[in-house]
Structure 1
């Protein structure tokens, strides 16, 4: 039996700003899947700190991609929110990325959309309107959740986990903004069962 292919699309949260490669959540997720006996190859990650939806899309245009992947994850939008783009400006480019993810997976059920964490609870947000940040994150996530449901992609809400982690010791890297590998492990606990479901058809086909 071969290995399942896994494409992770995103920004700083997917590339794991400030953590070692193994601590990034896509890498942790792949490791957890292997522990369950699900053969998964090394994730292909297309993500860079600071990327917005349109910047991720542009990067995909210039990246060598496989014709198809067994699972695709998508976590994008925090930089659209941070740069002051409204929710209406977010929907269309997000939908475009979601459509690309579905095309690459070949089946929307093999696409896992992950919610945007709330950076307003971090040290980086000190002196800012934390409540307003949280409200905007919720609005962006509502769009991502609704659009995922519309095409029957899978949805994982890690935002409550990010809020619980907040500024707790060990939950952020030194910049006071990005999650640590420990916090990413909490995300993976939420994402893992959904990823298993996303790969269920692949597992059945390769048995």
Structure 2
């Protein structure tokens, strides 16, 4: 059983640990927990993890958010991973910071990284974990908000949600998408 775990974000120090890069942070936490090491490879930073009889190809695309689909498509084709065995982690403005949401398919919801993936694979039918970042910004300040760092008040919730997101990847790979949704979608983080 082989899985592609995809964290969405932007490369570069100015983007590190911003709200928009939470996908990178979750995948890095998963790789670290399982003793993996990233290498720079074609279109992405890549780590290979073996756990419970499964192989995880974990990628953080180096294409920047708006071209995430190029890396996604390259790695599912190279590794011959079916679309339903992919798991994409991204930030979501429409969810409050207290929530995580897993879906087996769905639209891009205005997220440029998802739009790029959908265009590359011709479908929205792939599993995603949406990491709620809230929408606590003034009109016209959306870009500054998503590219901003977490506040001190948000940090404890973010750390907890990263841990639960790592757990969600494990549940998804061992028990399936429905078990992951049932475990994660009703949680409320305070």
The normalised TM-score by structure 1 is: 0.40
Q: Which protein is richer in helix relative to its size?
A: 1
Structure number with bigger Rg: 1
Q: Which protein is richer in strand relative to its size?
A: 2
